[in-house]
Amino acid sequence: MTRKVYLDNAATTPVSSEVLNEMLPCFNLLYGNSSSIHSFGREAAAIVDRARDRIAAAINAKNANEIYFTSGGSEADNWAVKGIAHAYANKGKHIITSKIEHSAVLEACHALENEGFEVTYLPVDKYGLVSIAELMHAIRKDTTLISIMAVNNEVGTIQNIKTIAKTAHENGIIFHTDAVQALGAVKLDVQDMEIDAMSISSHKIYGPKGAGALYLKNGIRIDSLISGGNQERGKRGGTLNVPAIAGFGKAAEIAVRDLVINQQKLRSIREYFLSKVKENIEYIHVNGHPQQKIQGTVSISFEMIEGESILMLLDLEGVAVSTSSACTSNILQPSHVLRAMGIEDEIAQGTIRFSFGKNISKADVDYAVEVLTNAVKKLRAISPITKAGRR
Ligand SMILES: Cc1ncc(COP(=O)(O)O)c(C=O)c1O
């Protein structure tokens, strides 16, 4: 049987057993609707309250009522960007974001542009960092919102969030950050970092899929995205997904409890992996910031071959990774992130994201590197592009 090695933890993670145990009774024993007034409902509401407290503690929110549950990171991003922009539209209709945001933020911005808002998409440097000088330059009198991600999902670069938030506040602007890839990987303290709104997601931190949250500092206004009942203090309609929320709360508690130890382990795995890859494979580029990065995500461009072909050969041998490009109408489009970092399309197209999980072993890395080395060798042997030019 083929060995299976999962190196796509930035896409999603397995639910950990502690999290699963927290969730299981919510499916068939404590199954009330958390909005119901009777004892079944009150039991479910207590589970939701506990999860809300755990998440608030994990990000050091001042008050648990600043946590609003959503269906995931994409909803939280859409809600923050559209909801805040709409709530403050009478003050101004200009928003600042970056070119390397997740599509949930970028598409929300595009939707606002169609409504007459103006959006500035900040460039990044070759490491994927937003420049504070460029940010300051982009700020206008009618800017109401700055949305910059905390950690990039493709290359793992960590932004200078505290400085960006400070710059926003000095200019009377609200600051939102997509921290989906940051939770569990870097310390998040919304009070210390002066964050007004922050998106997080459960399934990236060993919690279940379909649960996330928007942290919204008390006093910040937001229009609803989902109208309905009076759930989430009237701001987000819909019966709460109690099992997933229970799991998310537990997962967030564990992610913060084990952050340092997990990152230490991932650092040594990353170094081991990179040294073995460099030892075995030539003509590669490691993307992202050399220091300001999370440990679990490694983006590598392999010259002269396409990422999709590497992915497929690895998949045949049981190794799961992801590419950085999106396939639209049969045209391979290099990732918007790598493009914004100034990486040439031909090199960007040969990019693979390896994202390690907390339970990975050195034997898994050895196997993955062996399979990768063979795949790259095979593909380069038949590639129309060679170091000497096109065949
Ligand atoms: C940076 C970032 N933002 C948002 C999301 C979307 O989160 P979800 O899958 O919970 O909708 C992801 C997931 O890939 C992400 O990496």
pLDDT for the residue numbered 390: 76
CB 194 within 8 A of CB 175: yes
What are the beta bridge partners of residue 390?
385
74 Cα nearest atom in ligand 1: 11
DSSP, collapsed to helix, strand or coil, labels residue 339 as helix
Question: How far is residue 174's CA from residue 137's CA, in Å, rounded to a whole number?
Answer: 17
- Domains of the chain, by residue range, sit at 17-257, 260-390
Tell the residue nearest (CA) to atom 15 of ligand 1. Answer: 180
What's the distance, CA 62 to chain centroid?
23
Output the pLDDT for position 326: 54
Mutation to probe ligand 1, out of 15, 70, 74 (largest number of atoms < 8 A from CB) = 74
Residue 297, ligand 1, Cβ within 6 A: no
For 183, the 3-state DSSP assignment is: strand
Q: Is 180 in the pocket of ligand 1 (CB under 6 A)?
A: yes
Say how far apart CA 325 and CA 347 lie, in whole Å. 11
Kindly give the residue spans of alpha helices, DSSP state H, lying in the chain: 17-28, 39-58, 73-78, 84-87, 103-114, 132-138, 161-170, 242-257, 259-280, 307-316, 336-340, 345-348, 362-382
Place of tokens 């034997």: 363
Going by DSSP bridges, is the β-strand pair 297-302/351-355 parallel, antiparallel, or unpaired?
A: antiparallel
CB 171 within 8 A of CB 165: no
Q: What backbone phi and psi angles, to 5 degrees, belong to 368?
A: -60, -40
Give pLDDT, residue 330.
56
Distance of alpha carbon 106 from the chain centroid: 13
Q: What is the DSSP pairing of strand 94-98 with strand 5-6? A: unpaired
CA 288 – CA 128 distance, rounded (Å): 6
CA angle 110, 349, 177 (to 5 degrees): 40
Backbone angles phi, psi at 63, to 5 degrees: -140, 140
324 in the Ramachandran plot: left (φ > 0), alpha (ψ -120 to 50) or beta?
Answer: alpha
User: CA-CA distances (angstroms) from residue 316 to 3, 12, 158, 282?
Assistant: 10, 20, 33, 23
Per-residue pLDDT of the chain (391 residues; tens, 9 = 90+): 789 999 999 999 999 999 999 999 999 999 999 999 999 999 999 999 999 999 999 999 999 999 999 999 999 999 999 999 999 999 999 999 999 999 999 999 999 999 999 999 999 999 999 999 999 999 999 999 999 999 999 999 999 999 999 999 999 999 999 999 999 999 999 999 999 999 999 999 999 999 999 999 999 999 999 999 899 999 999 999 999 999 999 999 999 999 999 999 999 999 999 999 999 999 999 999 999 999 999 999 999 999 999 999 999 999 999 996 555 445 568 899 999 999 999 999 999 999 999 999 999 999 999 999 999 999 999 988 888 877 7
Q: Is the CB of 350 under 6 A from ligand 1?
A: no
Angstrom CA distances, 176 to 23, 31, 179, 196, 315, stand at: 30, 34, 9, 6, 37
Q: Which atom of ligand 1 is least distant from the CA of 72?
A: 10
Q: Which residues contact 220 (CB under 8 A, 6 or more apart)?
A: 84, 174, 196, 197
What is the number of the ligand 1 atom nearest to the C-alpha of 101?
1
Which residue from 71, 201, 245 has its CB within 8 A of the most atoms of ligand 1, so it is best to mutate?
201
In residues, how long is the chain?
A: 391
Which residues are known to be catalytic? 327
Can you say how many angstroms the Cα of residue 65 is from the centroid of all Cα atoms in its chain? 23
> What would the two tokens of residue 20 be?
């699963």
> Given this model, what pLDDT does residue 337 score?
97
User: Using a 6 Å cutoff on CB, does residue 77 contact ligand 1?
Assistant: yes
The pTM assigned to this predicted structure is 0.97
Beta-carbon contacts of 377 under 8 Å, excluding residues fewer than 6 positions away, are none
The answer to whether the CB of 201 is under 6 A from ligand 1 is yes
Q: Is the CB of 8 under 6 A from ligand 1?
A: no
Domain 260-390, CATH among 3.40.50.970, 1.10.357.10, 3.90.1150.10, 1.20.1080.10: 3.90.1150.10
| All residues at 6 or more sequence positions from 257 whose CB lies less than 8 Å from its CB, including other chains | none
12, 203 contact by CB (below 8 A): yes
CATH of domain 17-257: 3.40.640.10
The residue nearest atom 4 of ligand 1, judged by CA position, is 73
DSSP letter string, 247-308: HHHHHHHHHHHTHHHHHHHHHHHHHHHHHHHHHH--SEEEES-SSSB-SSEEEEEETTS-HH
Q: Mind giving me the DSSP string for 112-140?
A: HHHTT-EEEEE-B-TTSPBPHHHHHHH--
Q: How much distance in Å is there from the Cα of 353 to the middle of ligand 1? A: 15
Could you tell me how far CA 43 lies from the centroid of its own chain?
32
